[in-house]
Amino acid sequence: MERNKLITMIEIAIMAGLSFILSKVEFGALWAFGGSISLIMVPIFVMAFRRGWQAGLVTGLLAGIISLLTGGYVVHPVQLVLDYPLAYAVLGIGGLAVFHKPITTGRIFTGLLLGTSLRLACHFMSGIIWFGSAAPKEMPVAVYSFLYNISYLLPEMLITAAILVFLKKTAPSFYKQSASIGSSSASY
């Protein structure tokens, strides 16, 4: 059991580092207050789908902290938490959608939608509270925050979905794990 926990922790560290590297693969940079379309979510969801939501949550938390430490945009301590560690940690909750094996394309999309929606909620709250002053005068702050954040999160989710489905179709054993690794009773 200890060996399995060690393997999972090593995978978490590798995937968190890979998230940082893949965050540098950006598709456009049109957003004034942060946000970009990148591949940062791919390793986080891989861990959530392969090892469970707890491993995905820890991977996302680490990826968010690394992102913050390597160039985060901070205006307030609560905004820092909402936009970095929390926004990426909640992606791991998408692993709940693939709790039952086998992992199907439908479960991948459900997990992506769940995790990305929770990330959107974090950025949305941050946008309303701290970046609302950037909204055009005739536009409600909530609408501005939603449109701003969905404009990069939706394409990022679709790109992530394409990669994860490609992995499932070309290497189905990629998401398989031994029974004792990543079980729901594992703690980190």
Model confidence at 181, in pLDDT bands (50, 70, 90)? very low
CA distance 58 to 144: 30
User: Hey, where are the domains in the chain?
Assistant: 2-24+36-175
The pLDDT tens digits for 103-123 are: 899 999 999 999 999 999 999
CA distance 53 to 50: 9
pTM for this predicted structure? 0.89
Q: Which residue has the tokens 């950025």?
A: 123
| Diameter over CA atoms, the chain | 59
Q: Which helix H or strand E contains 129, and what residues bound it?
A: helix 105-130
pLDDT at 186 over 50: no
Asked if the 2-24+36-175 domain carries CATH number 3.30.365.10, the reply is no
Per-residue pLDDT, 87: 98
The pLDDT tens digits for 63-107 are: 999 999 998 889 999 999 999 999 999 999 999 998 877 889 999
161: exposed, middle or buried (C-beta count within 10 Å: 0-12, 13-18, 19+)?
buried
Q: Which of 48, 68, 49, 50 is nearest to 58 (CA)?
A: 48
Per-residue pLDDT, 117: 98
Q: Which of 53, 33, 37, 36 is nearest to 45 (CA)?
A: 53
Per-residue pLDDT, 135: 87
Per-residue pLDDT, 30: 65
16: exposed, middle or buried (C-beta count within 10 Å: 0-12, 13-18, 19+)?
buried
